[in-house]
Copies of this chain bind each other. A is one copy, B any other.
Amino acid sequence: MKVVVGGHIDHAEGHSDGYKSKAELGGGDAESFRDIATHWSMTLPLRVKDEEPDKCLHSLAQQRKWCAEKREEKEAVGDDGRPNALGIPPLCCHESRSFPRGRSSVTGRDRISTGRSGQFHNSTMRPEFRSYTAAWLSARNKDCNGVGSMESRAFAVEGESSSASAPPPAPPYFDLKAHMSAIAEAVNRELDVLVPVRYPEKIHEAMRYSLLSPGKRVLPLMCISACELVGGSQDVALPAACGLEMIHAMSLIHDDLPCMDNDDLRRGKPTNHKVFGEDMAVLAGDALLTLAFECMTKTPSSVPAGRVVRSIAILGKSLGAQGVVAGQIMDIASEGDPDVSLETLEYIHVHKTGALVEFAAACGAILGGGSEEEIASLSEYGRCLGLLHQVVDDILDVTKSSQQLGKTAGKDVLAKKATYPKLLGLKESQDFAQELARRAKSFLSSFDPQKAAPLYSLADYIANRQS
């Protein structure tokens, strides 16, 4: 299977009569696609082919130059709201348009609503968004020639080959449970050292309360496994793996705040702000986020500094207003909205939780010294798994009892939240989950199956979990 290196821009449009994907791709050669991906894709630094890590740091001057060029091109084709020859919606180029001061009535949610009436409105909103769901649906409907996107063709070709030819040989048996325990133990030991109880004690205790509470440590597992898969050792990825757990803990602490989800319980324990107070919870989150970035710099000195810088750049992008925060914003904006589209739902899932999963795999590959192709494959693997995790979460919410889940079942339905079963149907959701797992594993096909066994097992584990 060939990895799509260039990237592309999907123009998907939601209709009030249901979900309909319209994947279009403007003209332009491979080089143009790489340009677009380089500048608009969330995973962009992974797609730059240059082997010199330093070169991946896009200087502001370069960015401005590119935007200026694209603006010129846009102006050349007119400002009629149609994508230009490169498939770039004009708005995207207005990077520095003036800011309307004061409270804007144009909230994300308003935009989603108004977006339904404008042909390219949604695509101008999220130029970098590649919808797996749309591509999959498109491929199922054989709507994959002519105007079909590269992504759709990939789904289609893979789907056909997997049904027509013999299935790929199964990877060797792997004891994931034992491996998980071992990694969790190593990570917990390190976290305990990284956040000791020291002056001022209260903030460190608040940080430790959430950070050291029991968890499967799936993100560290993915990061370390990806690193080992490309030839790195565990200690190379361990600081980054710990940073990932800190970010995970931080996002839960801030998510649970009264002004956000207002949760009192997390994994059966009182939430951080319930124990330490809201002020302390805000600060504990801030401190954990900060420490996570600091952790990235604790990578052993044998790792070239350029790889560390590259990882930090991607981490920043994955977490910020184009990553996790974007997902959270859209989640808040969509709350109680009965008309959330499947594309918006995927956008929320892929950003709110998927971005960190994707980063975990990509970061391990970068720090471990993987080739650009290996990094891109593992990044895609992580992206699929991040979405898969959420789709399965949605399915379990309607198919399992509270007792089976260990948490309140059916709460998505109660909260009238958009979910995959609600928008796509249960059977289609289950099919899509299996497809995502298969697709995730397909990105491992170029690796030694023995070495990739932890990641194969992890995909199956996430797809088939029952709670």
Within 8 Å of chain B (Cβ to Cβ): is A126? yes
Contacts of A104 in B (CB 8 A): 201-202, 205
- Measured CB to CB, the closest approach of chain B to A274, in angstroms, equals 9
Contacts of A290 in B (CB 8 A): 289, 316, 319-320, 325
Cβ of A59 and Cβ of B300 under 8 Å apart? yes
Report the Cα distance A95→B59, complex, angstroms.
Answer: 40
| B-contact bits for A187-201, CB 8 A (1 contact / 0 none) | 000101111111111
Report the Cα distance A99→B213, complex, angstroms.
Answer: 11
Cβ of A126 and Cβ of B199 under 8 Å apart? yes
Contacts of A52 in B (CB 8 A): 301
Contacts of A333 in B (CB 8 A): 200, 202
Known: A201-B111, A290-B325, A291-B321. A296 touches B282 (CB 8 A): no
Binding stretch for chain B, among A26-34, A131-139, A252-260, A439-447: A252-260
Q: Known contacts A59-B301, A291-B321, A308-B309; can you find 19 more A-B pairs with CB under 8 A? A: A57-B299, A60-B194, A60-B298, A95-B193, A97-B196, A99-B205, A99-B212, A195-B321, A200-B321, A204-B321, A254-B283, A287-B320, A289-B290, A290-B320, A291-B316, A293-B316, A295-B316, A305-B308, A309-B309
Contacts of A285 in B (CB 8 A): 286
Contacts of A286 in B (CB 8 A): 254, 285-286, 289, 319, 325
Contacts of A322 in B (CB 8 A): 198
Report the Cα distance A52→B305, complex, angstroms.
Answer: 11
Interface members, chain A 149-205 (any B CB < 8 Å): 190, 192-205
Within 8 Å of chain B (Cβ to Cβ): is A94? yes
Report the Cα distance A85→B309, complex, angstroms.
Answer: 40
| B-contact bits for A70-86, CB 8 A (1 contact / 0 none) | 00000000000000000
* A interface residues with partner B (beta carbon < 8 Å): 52-55, 57-61, 63-64, 92, 94-97, 99-104, 106-108, 111, 124-127, 190, 192-205, 207-209, 212, 235, 238-239, 254, 257-260, 275-280, 282-283, 285-287, 289-291, 293-301, 304-306, 308-310, 312-313, 315-317, 319-322, 325-326, 328-330, 332-333
Report the Cα distance A310→B305, complex, angstroms.
Answer: 9
Cβ of B97 and Cβ of A305 under 8 Å apart? no
Report the Cα distance A54→B54, complex, angstroms.
Answer: 15
Cβ of B58 and Cβ of A95 under 8 Å apart? no
Cβ of A202 and Cβ of B283 under 8 Å apart? no
Contacts of A101 in B (CB 8 A): 209
Contacts of A97 in B (CB 8 A): 196-197
- Measured CB to CB, the closest approach of chain B to A212, in angstroms, equals 7
Cβ of A301 and Cβ of B94 under 8 Å apart? no
- Measured CB to CB, the closest approach of chain B to A287, in angstroms, equals 4
The 4 closest A-B pairs by CB, nearest first: A294-B316, A259-B278, A305-B305, A297-B313
Report the Cα distance A205→B329, complex, angstroms.
Answer: 12
Contacts of A260 in B (CB 8 A): 279, 282
Cβ of B279 and Cβ of A199 under 8 Å apart? no
Residue of B nearest to A67 (CB): B193
Contacts of A96 in B (CB 8 A): 192-193, 196
Contacts of A55 in B (CB 8 A): 301
- Measured CB to CB, the closest approach of chain B to A437, in angstroms, equals 29
- Measured CB to CB, the closest approach of chain B to A395, in angstroms, equals 26
Cβ of B107 and Cβ of A301 under 8 Å apart? no
